[in-house]
């Protein structure tokens, strides 16, 4: 028998476009940028772009020379590290990282729980969800607004949310992108929490959404400019809805989304060359029968695959995907749609994943039960991606010879040893017999998720944060609240 070196059979990134397809999408985006233009509704952005060869047309539509855009994309780093206030939770994003940054749902105004059903989310829900994020090992970032705290004043919501993200967790936070003032206020809070007021390295990203078709608005551009000036990564993302805010054809919507992203990335690099950025295509489609958003669709999975591949094409970390569904509750539809889109993201090599868990109802609702169930789904996929070893120990020839034909391996030491590492054991879903399941209450997945939520909350421990920093954050929020717009 030959000697085997231990070899792990892992799943590579899945590319859906040929090299010619990549070039075609890039060339289509260059055509849009050079000849059609993207509206950039922000004075500083217009000034910077004009100073670097951009031509300003009616209604602040900007066209740019392709060489400026291509040079800017090449300037962006292929990877960077976001530093948490607990260095054990630092996250490397992009080339060289084996797992993506994973954050929970982002922005839903509603919450659905096993006990209460669907209702408007409150600040107490926001805190509960952050505690779950802290206890789930597959989540590496709090995100920004894991749910909207509807009982908090709109003018200070960004302050109250980030304060809680920094105190209830010690994972990587995100900040408000909604205007320069809010972004800067949140970055100042992050600087205080990590005791680095000058933000000497990347600590927090901000989600900068474009406004398809072919536009970036004043507030988002203000956030982008502020992030770039501070050396913090803008996650530039085009949420194009094929058939509504983009062509119904996938290729047309991809080209448009690509052009919007590249304009935002170009601006960030012109403001601060080498600043980290993320290339995001969380695009999807509408169901034309109802005019409704359809995020748990095969087309959504195609957009996700494109994001990972084109991110690698440009050498920029990518953002897309998550456990996405249009289902209104925690059910079979929610499960298979979420597995489709999460699998697409994991196998596309996505580097930065918002909505990785918890989302229902086309981004409109979050469920703590679905959050913990989706985290288990992530662990399933992680195990699948890890592959398996090929070596003498794993072939176990000596053991095979010692077990009689039609015998079993249950009592063998090899089984006891390797089943702990080779065979995944879920403590979230039910693998028992029907009789045991029925005797224990015949619980649905929703109810098992509820049990897991209670288990995680019971296990939660608030991470240590210096009392002086807590007081500084409280004082900052109180003072900033007086001038918040």
pLDDT in tens, 32-90: 999 999 999 999 999 999 999 999 999 999 999 999 999 999 999 999 999 999 999 99
Which one has a higher pLDDT value, 154 or 234?
Answer: 234
pLDDT in tens, 362-392: 999 999 999 999 999 999 999 999 888 888 8
Angle subtended at Cα 101 by Cα 100 and Cα 107, rounded to the nearest 5 degrees: 130
3-state secondary structure of 440: coil
pLDDT in tens, 344-361: 999 999 999 999 999 999
pLDDT in tens, 165-215: 999 999 999 999 999 999 999 999 999 999 999 999 999 999 999 999 999
Angle subtended at Cα 458 by Cα 456 and Cα 462, rounded to the nearest 5 degrees: 90
pLDDT at 7: 56
pLDDT at 477: 87
What residue ranges define each of the domains in the chain, with the CATH number in brackets? Answer: 74-385 (3.20.20.480)
pLDDT of residue 10 exceeding 70, the answer is no
Segment 432-440 shows an average pLDDT of 97
Cα end-to-end distance, the chain, whole Å = 74
| Omega prior to 450 cis, within 30 of 0 | no
Contact 13, 312 (CB under 8 A): yes
Percent of the chain with pLDDT over 70: 97
pLDDT at 415: 93
Segment 162-167 shows an average pLDDT of 98
Contact 22, 310 (CB under 8 A): yes
What is the spatial distance between Cα 321 and Cα 301, in angstroms, rounded to a whole number?
8
What is the spatial distance between Cα 145 and Cα 175, in angstroms, rounded to a whole number?
9
Here the tokens at position 320 are 């897309």
């Amino acid at each position: 028998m030959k000697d085997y070196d231990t070899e792990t059979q892992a799943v590579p990134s899945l590319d859906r476009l040929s090299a010619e397809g990549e070039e075609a999408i890039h060339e289509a985006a260059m055509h849009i940028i050079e000849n059609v233009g993207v509206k950039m509704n922000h004075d500083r952005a217009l000034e910077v772009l004009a100073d670097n060869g951009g031509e300003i047309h009616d209604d602040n539509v900007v066209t740019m020379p392709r060489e400026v855009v291509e040079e800017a994309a090449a300037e962006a780093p292929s990877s960077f590290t976001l530093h948490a206030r607990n260095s054990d939770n630092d996250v490397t994003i992009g080339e060289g990282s084996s797992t993506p940054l994973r954050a929970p749902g982002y922005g839903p105004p509603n919450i659905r729980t096993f006990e209460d059903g669907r209702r408007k989310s409150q600040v107490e829900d926001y805190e509960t969800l952050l505690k779950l994020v802290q206890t789930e090992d597959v989540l590496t970032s709090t995100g920004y607004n894991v749910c909207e705290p509807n009982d908090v004043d709109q003018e200070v919501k960004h302050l109250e949310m980030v304060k809680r993200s920094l105190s209830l967790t010690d994972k990587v936070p995100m900040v408000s992108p909604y205007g320069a003032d809010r972004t800067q206020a949140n970055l100042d809070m992050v600087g205080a929490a990590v005791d680095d007021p000058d933000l000497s390295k990347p600590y927090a990203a901000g989600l900068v959404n474009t406004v398809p078709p072919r536009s970036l608005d004043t507030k988002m551009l203000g956030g982008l400019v502020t992030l770039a000036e501070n050396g913090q990564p803008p996650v530039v993302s085009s949420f194009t809805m094929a058939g509504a805010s983009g062509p119904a054809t996938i290729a047309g919507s991809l080209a448009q989304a690509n052009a919007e992203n590249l304009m935002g990335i170009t601006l960030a690099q012109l403001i601060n060359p080498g600043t980290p950025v993320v290339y995001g295509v969380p695009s999807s489609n509408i169901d034309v029968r109802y005019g409704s958003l359809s995020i748990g669709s095969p087309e959504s999975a195609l957009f996700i695959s494109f994001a990972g591949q084109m991110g690698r094409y440009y050498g920029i970390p990518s953002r897309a995907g998550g456990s996405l569904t249009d289902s209104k509750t925690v059910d079979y539809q929610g499960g298979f749609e979420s597995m489709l889109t999460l699998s697409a993201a994991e196998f596309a090599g996505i580097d930065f994943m918002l909505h990785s868990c918890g989302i229902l109802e086309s981004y409109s609702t979050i469920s703590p039960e679905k959050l913990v169930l989706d985290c288990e789904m992530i662990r399933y996929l992680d195990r699948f991606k890890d592959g398996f070893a090929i070596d003498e120990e794993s072939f176990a020839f000596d053991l095979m010879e010692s077990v009689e034909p039609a015998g079993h391996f249950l009592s063998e030491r090899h089984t006891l040893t390797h089943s702990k590492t080779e065979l995944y054991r879920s403590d979230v879903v039910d693998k028992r017999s029907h009789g045991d399941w029925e005797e224990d209450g015949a619980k649905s997945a929703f109810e098992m998720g509820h049990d897991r939520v209670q288990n995680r909350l019971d296990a939660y421990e608030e991470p240590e944060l210096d009392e002086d920093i807590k007081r500084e954050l409280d004082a900052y929020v109180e003072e900033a609240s007086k001038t918040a717009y």
